[in-house]
Amino acid sequence: MSCMANAGLLVLRPCGQPAAGGCSQCGKPLCLMHMAGGTCPECMAMGGQWEDSEAGREAATRNNYYNTYGGGDEYGSATYFSSGDRGSMGPGVPSFSGSSADDYDPFDT
């Protein structure tokens, strides 16, 4: 699983580094760098706790720009989903878990 913290302003994209944990508020997978504050940069920016974190500051700046000018990707626009997202929603794609019922083992931990 890879880090889903957002990067960029014009070209909004997930960080993509290997995830090392999740955001304590929204559960989004995060890499070591983005997990430094406990929450993801977006939650930090929403909670107004972005001042101590570079990534939080970037997220707050991004929100500020998007609130003024729009931008980023809104649900319904062609670019809301990444190519990975679109691929996973196409026909013939296995379900989310990627496993069939036969593979299920209740004792597997």
Specify which residues 14 forms β-bridges with: 6
* Torsion angle (degrees, nearest 10) of CA 92, 22, 52, 7: -10
Interface with another protein, residue 54, by CB under 8 A: no
Centroid of chain to Cα 28? 6
CB 68 within 8 A of CB 9: no
Work out how close the CB of 59 gets to another protein at its nearest, in angstroms, rounded to a whole number.
11
Interface with another protein, residue 10, by CB under 8 A: yes
For the beta carbon of residue 99, count every other beta carbon within 10 angstroms.
10
Interface with another protein, residue 81, by CB under 8 A: no
Interface with another protein, residue 1, by CB under 8 A: no
Interface with another protein, residue 7, by CB under 8 A: yes
Interface with another protein, residue 72, by CB under 8 A: yes
Q: Which is nearer to another protein, 14 or 38 (CB)?
A: 14
Contact segment (CB under 8 A) with another protein among 26-34, 41-49, 72-80, 92-100 equals: 72-80
C-alpha span between 53 and 73 (Å, rounded): 24
Q: End-to-end distance of the chain based on CA atoms, in angstroms?
A: 18
Contacts with another protein, residue ranges (CB under 8 A):
7-11, 13, 58, 61, 65-66, 68-73, 77-79, 83
